Amino acid sequence: MRISVVGRGRRVVGMVVAGVLAVGVVPAGAAAATEGLQWGKCAEESQAECAKLTVPLDWLKPSGVKTELLVARLPAKDQAHRLGVLAFNPGGPGGPGATAMATGAVGEVFSQLREKFDFVSWDPRGTGQSSDLDCGPVLRPGVPVFPKSKAEYDAMVKSSRATGEHCLKQHGDLMRNLDTRTAARDLDAFRAALGVDKLNYYGPSYGSFVGTVYAQLFPHRINRMVIDGILDHAAGSTGFMLTEARQMEYGFNKFAAWCKTAPDCALHGRDVGKVYDAVVRKADRKPLPGDSTTTINGDAIRMSLPVFLPAVGDYVTPWTALAKALVDAEKGDGSGFVGNSYVGDPGTTYAAVSCMDFPPEFTSYADAKARLALAKAVAPHVGAAVEGWAISAACAGWPIPPSNPWQPTPVKDAPPILIAGNTHDPSTPLESARGLQRQLRGSQLMITDVYGHTSWFNSDCARTEITKYLETGVMPLKHLICH
């Protein structure tokens, strides 16, 4: 799923709002949620205002230990026709929305939505300047990601457990309070602190799941909501992995077809699938040099596909870089994959949240082996090299029981919710949008017939319809298909 549209280093999850920078000055002494927010400029050059929001560390103990969240807002450009507040979660897990907003990148990407809304977001706990976690890589280099034996499976489980236990020692109770239900409760505290009775909300990618859970918990606190690039929490770990694998294979074939006609593809005129398979086998036999501290094995190259293959409209199409990385790897140079693979990803929060909501459900090595075979059957080149498997591998031995495991997310009493999904989204497939629509009473699905992650970032038509709905409440025509 690489469910984020905000930068995490050089990775595709950060392909839309790339290169999120550190916020310079954050106002000190932000008041608690019930007391409002003390706003100040996020940084000298920033148009956004920032504040600190104090919330309970454990929402089951509201009078207990507190934690602080960085929040930010950008005033509506057209104040004379201002329509209220529009909350935004950039996805992830691990996308720091307030930090991204402070740099100005969010305002550019969502300029239409900013016209008549005060655009607001927050750094979810564990991200950005909200109790940031840094406990090492999600998938450690050298540890098997696609185990070929029980010994390799055991090594994968052991690494996951060690990462989780190490993080628990550093961050204690925070690690037990990072699931999406907690994020939704934090969002409602933010709503209260803003002094609004009902929220407007746009959530792309993993942000769609935050919105869905918010709608389930707080249906009467919603004015209008759009969720885009859907995760269906009822799919289960195997089901979601397989739907991703099918669409990622489609993306691989689309990349190969592009290389046949694109002069700037380093593999122009060659059999891309054959080259890719040969490079992976070569790196399986002997890891390639990456940089001064990194080597690149076959698993690292495989797990670069969910980074390189998804495209986000005009913002990022990293196929040129993938082709060059493969050509260089043929010559023994793996540097093109450094920082562009799930292997070695430093985003601890990504695993810490995912393990609470999307557990792997492994029963044994035989179970894992069977899933890998299923993925290879539906996706001959990609196999299980998708986000769903990355999460399962990272969480295989996680020491904290999932607090919100795979299950339906029925919503009955919320206003109509607009669901957007692409016919060929390799990160959050259209099947997920269809599955979720059946759980959200009164919702409407708008399909965008394009390749890429989320509708907003890949279609002018979708951007127009989403903006119109949020501003006016008028849903797109039923059965409309955007392009």
pLDDT digits (tens, 9 = 90+) for 85-141: 999 999 988 889 999 999 887 877 899 999 999 999 999 999 989 987 878 887 999
Determine the Cα–Cα distance for residues 337 and 339; give it in Å rounded to an integer.
6
In total, how many domains does the chain have? 1
Tokens 């025509």 — which residue? Answer: 477
Residue 179: the pLDDT is: 95
Q: Check residue 287 and report its DSSP letter.
A: P
Contact call for residues 123 and 90 (beta carbons, < 8 A): no
Closest CA to 433 of 396, 394, 462, 460: 462
Residue 317: the pLDDT is: 67
Closest CA to 369 of 142, 150, 156: 150
Determine the Cα–Cα distance for residues 451 and 455; give it in Å rounded to an integer.
9
Model confidence at 12, in pLDDT bands (50, 70, 90)?
Answer: very low
Determine the Cα–Cα distance for residues 407 and 452; give it in Å rounded to an integer.
26
Q: Is the pLDDT of residue 5 over 70?
A: no
Q: Which residues contact 223 (CB under 8 A, 6 or more apart)?
A: 84, 198, 199, 200, 415
Model confidence at 346, in pLDDT bands (50, 70, 90)?
Answer: low
Largest CA distance in the chain: 65
Determine the Cα–Cα distance for residues 296 and 300; give it in Å rounded to an integer.
6
Q: Check residue 21 and report its DSSP letter.
A: P
Angle value at C-alpha 146, between 145 and 147, nearest 5 degrees? 100
Residues in the chain: 483
Q: What is the mean pLDDT of the chain?
A: 91
Q: Is the pLDDT of residue 17 over 50?
A: no
Q: Six-digit token pair at 271? A: 């059999």
Q: Six-digit token pair at 219? A: 């249906």
Structure pTM? 0.93
CA atoms within 13 A on the CB side of 197: 1
Cis upstream peptide for 56 (omega within 30°): no
Closest CA to 17 of 130, 96, 85, 113: 96
Determine the Cα–Cα distance for residues 272 and 220; give it in Å rounded to an integer.
51
Q: Phi and psi at residue 346, in whole multiples of 5°?
A: -85, 0
Q: Is the pLDDT of residue 20 over 60?
A: no
Residue 73: the pLDDT is: 95
Determine the Cα–Cα distance for residues 462 and 455; give it in Å rounded to an integer.
6
Range name among 23-37, 191-205, 254-268 with the lowest pLDDT average: 23-37
Residue 309: the pLDDT is: 94
More confident residue, 313 or 256: 256
Q: Which domain holds residue 170?
A: 1-483
Question: At 362, which CATH number?
Answer: 3.40.50.1820
Contact call for residues 231 and 209 (beta carbons, < 8 A): yes
Determine the straight-line distance between the first and last CA of the chain, rounded to whole angstroms: 22
Q: What is the pLDDT of residues 435-472, one digit of tens each?
A: 999 999 999 999 999 999 999 999 999 999 999 999 99
Residues above pLDDT 90, as percent of the chain: 82
Neighbours of 59 (CB within 10 A): 16
